Amino acid sequence: MRIFKEIPSNKPLTPLLDSVDIPSDIRSFSIHELETLSNELREFLLYSVGQSGGHLGGGLGVIELTVILHHLFNTPYDNLIWDVGHQAYPHKILTGRKNKIQTIRKKSGLAPFPLRKESEYDAFGVGHSSTSISALLGMAIASKDSSPDKKHVAIIGDGAMTAGMAFEALSHTGHLKPNLLIILNDNDMSISENVGGLSNYFSRIWASKIYKGIKKSGSSFLKPLPQAYHLARKVETQMKAMVAPGTIFEELGLNYIGPIDGHNLKQLKDVISNLKEFDGPQFLHIITKKGAGLDPAEADRIGFHAIGKIRSINKDKKSKQKKYQDVFSDWIVDMAETDKNLIGITPAMREGSGLVDFSQKYPERYFDVAIAEQHSVTFAAGLATENKKPVVAIYSTFLQRAYDQLIHDVAVQNLDVTFALDRAGLVGEDGPTHSGNYDISYLRCIPNMMICTPSNENEARHLLTTAYLHEGPASVRYPRGVGSNEPIKNQLIPFDVGKAKLINKGNSKIVILNFGALLEEAKIVASELKLILIDMRFVKPLDEEMLKKHLSKAEYFVSIEDGSVMGGAGSAVQEFCSKESILIKSILFGIPDKFIEHASRQEMLNDAGLSSEKIKSRLKKLL
């Protein structure tokens, strides 16, 4: 493997990679050519992500694996599924998208994750973790009779393997026993000592066709030794227990092989070429380095998980403006100082959610439960029953995965759990799988739930305090990135629950109701058109007194929210007006009933009709 000291700023020469248009072009390559291709692919990936920004570390870690899989398998006929998809950039480059890779995550460019409609080589659309084994099993069962020669491969990371869904799928796979291959891409360096001569030696034995023949008692050349199978199986179990962490997979009914070096092309080829011919579910454990081949990325695997454009990571001055996650970070540390019962919980998003400082200052009160959103919510419920005050820091899109636990374990019991919902609304370049469009809709129908929608950084701090001091389940939703740079008051002072704020007095014909982070757009509209503007702050409970006062005299109310129109905050106001017999017309601005494709956040907002210009244009017709 060629090692790079920095990200190249000039396009590298990649003659062998340039000759590859689709994976079938590399199926006749020798090991030497595959090694050259891997080096060129790594250098080109470094250059292209340096130009476009995006996910880097995961892709660097699977260069060799990607090359070998497309060398050995007949893609796209054979199914290849990349769990989550952060690591799929090399796959995209080898499958006809090399010349478009710098458009990744941009409007009208390549999607940030595998996407079925983008390429026939993307067998399954991903974005959330731990789905690959379930999907692979479905594919294997569905094609068992119609295409018995079809191969099925899933690549799942050690982080994604912490989710319950992955083990549910493994258990079902072990029961059904279809022909498929699951590859565990393990880049956790804490178990790197398992990679060595002894474990590699046994892995080669267990993956050999001769050994497999011994295990198949009854083969013609083994008929004189029927006891060989039992002996081989007993020795294998004992040896695996000594040198490899694979016993659990064996007990689930899968044939465990590994761990092996995921950067050794010849070893990968030898083992996988054999495993693809075996019957039943195979489980291959490979050890890789996240960020492999780039010294800074290997040293800082978290920091190089995803990067901005190269000019932004090389000594550019960063903005001092706080992001919403920074506001949350400051708030939870300050609140923890005043309340020893506060417990911080995250499902594997410590850095993204802003819990680094809290985890360092209060390690005994900080819990990262790994990619286990369902567990995180019920764990919080259990803490709350013993008079603790859990705060679950979670992305809006990931809370969707724990909806039953939210209802059954928290809301039904009216337990005191605070949900800090980061990345609410349209998130930008990561696209529809990561946008938090639906939390208002799916939360407001749940009894006992409070929903707070801060409009800026200062409001976020105060509403976090309000939700935390409220006895019962409460959520505070805020977007990715920065807000309007509102000065933040450091006091931990709550707002009155359910009370809105009048921002602008104006023509009483139209009343604008703002819910959340689009207040600046609402201010522009209200100011230019001289309309009443109310920052509602709460979706549930609504400020009924404020609504009655202003809506009873108006012809229209206009709701603005960075969330789904269907079932959203505007719908809540419509329901209130119906209940109170307030006869008024309404226009609801929010995310329409479609998935907004990846682009910058501002471009996505514009596509959803949520820019101030588009809102003004529509309202001018009423005036």
CATH number, residue 557: 3.40.50.920
Residue with token string 């267990």 = 206
Domain assignment present for 122: yes
Q: CA triplet 197, 203, 206: central angle to 5 degrees?
A: 145
Whether 438 and 305 map to the same domain: the answer is no
Its domain, for residue 437, covers 324-477
491 found inside a domain: no
What local confidence, expressed as pLDDT, does residue 299 receive? 73
pLDDT of amino acid 211: 58
Same domain flag for 465 and 546: no
Catalytic residues: 290, 373, 401
DSSP per position, 309-332: -HHHHSSPPPP-PPBHHHHHHHHH
531-535 sheet: strands from edge to edge: 501-504, 531-535, 507-515, 556-564, 585-591
Residues 303 and 353 in one domain: no
Tokens matching residue 271: 């083992």
Same domain, 343 and 459: yes
How many H-runs (helices) and E-runs (strands) does the chain carry?
27, 19
Q: Are 244 and 302 within one domain? A: no
Does the residue 492 lie in any domain?
A: no
Q: Indicate if the alpha-carbon torsion angle 291, 296, 299, 304 is positive or negative.
A: negative
Instruction: Say if CB 398 and CB 367 are below 8 A apart.
Output: no
Regarding whether 6 and 117 lie in a shared domain, the answer is: yes
H or E element that contains 507: strand 507-515
Domain tally, the chain: 4
- Beta strands 474-477 and 501-504: pairing type? unpaired
The rounded average pLDDT for each run of 10 residues, N- to C-terminus, in the chain (623 residues) is 87 96 97 97 93 86 97 98 94 96 93 95 94 96 96 94 92 96 79 44 59 52 51 59 68 90 96 95 93 76 67 48 96 98 95 96 96 96 97 97 97 98 94 95 98 98 98 97 92 96 90 97 95 97 97 96 97 98 96 94 94 92 78
How confident is the model at residue 237, as a pLDDT? Answer: 60
Domain identity same for 118 and 209: no
How many angstroms separate the CA atoms of 339 and 361, rounded?
14
State the amino acid at position 360 in one-letter form.
Answer: Q
- Asked if the structure places residue 448 within a domain, the reply is yes
547 with 462, same domain? no
Nearest by Cα to 384 from 301, 473, 495: 473
Is residue 495 one of the residues assigned to a domain?
A: no
H or E element that contains 171: helix 164-176
Residues 332 and 434 in one domain: yes
- 246 and 369 fall within a common domain: no
Tokens, residue 324: 């919403």
* Residue ending a domain, choose from 445, 477, 509: 477
Q: What is the pLDDT of residue 190?
A: 33
pLDDT at site 222: 38
pTM across the whole model? 0.85
Domain boundary pick from 269, 302, 317: 317
Same domain? 358 vs 472: yes
Domain check: are 120 and 64 in the same one? Answer: yes
